[in-house]
């Protein structure tokens, strides 16, 4: 069945590919991004040429988010799926990033998700159904040195996603976290660069490791064995197509590097914790709207 879908950060990368994939699958897709009449105009025009509607939406701005989501609902009369894809990368000596940089990182990767959820959830609750797909990372479960700040934002998204999944389950709203591995997208080229290079210099030879790690990734991405980023769009498309109540809480895409083991252990701990609180029922989606029980 065709659904109304809003995707954030859809100018390029996973977001762009997902928008095109879902549109080809027959869904009505609204691809959102910043600066649709300026820097991102070529991307917006290319998406429109494929029949995808474009929405101006900056996840770091409350008013922009509220207006963007409202415009989708006004045009389509409802919203079925929100895909929180917008994200900012970061790699380097953690100490060399300023507090302002970390604040900006979390503003996109964590608070931006909170903004879009607050804007979209009233519609989902009125409908008695909806799907939220948050794009996290395997680095929200395992930690790479020199990627800790980015990972911290994705660890935060893990908790945020779980909490919303529990709190919304009895309202018919499903919440799924997608955990991609490393893929060749523009995340590394657009990632934050350390704002305090002198701090990194104080690490001596250790300070050269982040650059070498990124170089190795770039070599992998340029090789014939490079992972295909379309895997993520296909995984999201499958999640959207699944019946309510049948979706996994987390979906790893690509090499797990141990994130699958952490997921399995955490699921057991969370289930035990919820049962201990007398809230085990929150771990299962209610697929019948409450008003239909009468």
Residues assigned a catalytic role? 150
* 13 and 89 Cβ atoms separated by less than 8 Å: no
* 99 and 192 Cβ atoms separated by less than 8 Å: no
Short-list 231, 251, 149, CA closest to 193:
149
The tokens describing 55, both together, are 């929405």
Short-list 14, 274, 64, CA closest to 170:
274
CA distance 225 to 213: 17
Short-list 37, 57, 68, 58, CA closest to 104:
58
* 7 and 85 Cβ atoms separated by less than 8 Å: yes
């Amino acid at each position: 069945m065709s659904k109304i879908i809003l995707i954030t950060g859809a100018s390029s990368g996973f977001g762009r590919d997902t928008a095109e994939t879902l549109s080809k699958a027959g869904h009505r897709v609204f691809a959102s991004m910043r600066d649709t009449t300026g820097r991102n105009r070529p991307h917006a025009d290319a998406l429109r040429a494929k029949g995808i509607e474009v929405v101006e939406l900056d996840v770091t701005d409350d008013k922009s988010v509220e207006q963007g989501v409202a415009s989708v609902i006004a045009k389509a009369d409802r919203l079925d799926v929100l895909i929180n894809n917008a994200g900012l990368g970061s790699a380097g000596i953690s100490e060399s990033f300023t507090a302002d940089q970390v604040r900006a990182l979390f503003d996109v990767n964590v608070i931006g998700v909170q903004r879009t959820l607050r804007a979209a959830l009233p519609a989902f609750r009125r409908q008695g159904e909806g799907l939220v797909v948050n794009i996290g990372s395997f680095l929200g479960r395992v930690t790479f040195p020199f990627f800790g700040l980015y990972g911290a934002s994705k660890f935060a998204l893990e908790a945020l996603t779980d909490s919303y999944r529990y709190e919304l389950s009895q309202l018919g709203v499903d919440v799924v976290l997608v955990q991609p591995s490393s893929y060749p997208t523009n995340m590394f080229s657009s990632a934050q660069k350390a704002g305090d290079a002198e701090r990194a210099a104080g690490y001596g030879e250790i300070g050269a490791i982040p650059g070498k790690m990124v170089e190795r990734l770039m070599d992998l991405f340029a090789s014939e064995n490079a992972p295909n980023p379309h895997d993520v769009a296909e995984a999201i498309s499958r999640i959207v197509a699944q019946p309510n109540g049948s979706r996994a809480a987390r979906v790893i895409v690509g090499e797990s590097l141990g994130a699958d083991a952490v997921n399995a252990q955490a699921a057991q701990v969370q289930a035990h914790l919820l049962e201990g609180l007398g809230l085990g029922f929150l771990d299962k989606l209610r697929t019948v709207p409450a008003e239909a029980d009468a």
